[in-house]
Amino acid sequence: MTAIITATELAAGLAGGRPPVLLDVRWQLTTAKAAGAPAFDGRAEYTAGHLPGAVFVDLDRELASAPGEHGRHPLPDLEEFGAAMRRAGVSAGRPVVVYDGGQGWAAARAWWLLRWTGHPDVRVLDGGLPAWQGQLSTDVPDPAEGDFEPAPDAAGLLDADGAAALARSGVLLDARAGERYRGEVEPIDRVGGHIPGAVSAPTNENVGPDGRFLPAADLRDRFKALGVSQEAPVGVYCGSGVSGAHEVLALAVADIPAALYVGSWSEWSSDPSRPVAVGPDPQ
């Protein structure tokens, strides 16, 4: 099983005898705008048109708990997450395909959560909604209740101490834009910079101009150049555990297992006692 699916493959799967559950996770990072522009509304985008049969999933409310000491998008309460997935029709014995508006971050967050909590067959639509060539629907489905019960895997998750240790013993990748890694700008969090020892690996460099992932061989070459090998464990963090999930997905496409530090920089930087590195050097 691969971690991603093409639009052509998805269309064939939907027409087959065992169609996947479709989850629409349209979301965008929203920061305060001086011009007073309205926040992105994923549900409104979904209502205006979505893949036929897709169920909307709210990243901020169903794929994360409220912002706090553990970052802007902490892990959701697992009972609430399981209930949300069952309402969407997710069952352990039925494949799931997740998509978003094309950036891939939100879909990857849903993919990572479902995989981390034990679902055996989850894929992301490569390229998201823009890759879909079929008709869209405005009908809101009412799926039968699923049976999915989350069973998390501790090995796939890092906390702050684990991320710090991995930066010394393995490879810790920072999926944010390079200028945020270097501490040149920080539009959201308390302070700019990166976890000492982390390597800059912007997740947008894992995709082509069309938003689709680079070929697996190209991704393997990229990660090898960043120090990733079969001998050392790999972890990823970002701003709040969303774009980092996209990097974990890219690593999975390259057949490289990796853990995610969900709290990421929004948790790390909130504690003044934690060290901060700036500039292009990992240390």
- Grouping H, G, I as helix, E, B as strand and the rest as coil, residue 80 is helix
Helix axes 105-116, 243-253, angle to 10 degrees: 70
User: Which of 4, 131, 207, 238 is an active site residue?
Assistant: 238
> Dihedral sign, CA of 45, 65, 268, 222?
negative
Q: How many Å apart are CA 34 and CA 234, to the nearest integer? A: 39
Half-sphere exposure of 238 (CA within 13 A, CB side): 26
- Helix or strand holding residue 261 (H, E): strand 259-261
Q: How many Å apart are CA 47 and CA 53, to the nearest integer? A: 12
- 200 a catalytic residue: no
- Grouping H, G, I as helix, E, B as strand and the rest as coil, residue 237 is strand
Nearest alpha-carbon partner for 20 in 136, 112, 99, 105: 99
Residues 6+ positions from 239 with CB-CB distance below 8 Å: 29, 72, 176, 180, 188, 189, 264, 265, 266
* Interior angle at CA 219, CA 214 and CA 221, nearest 5: 135
Write the DSSP symbol of residue 40. P
Catalytic residues: 238
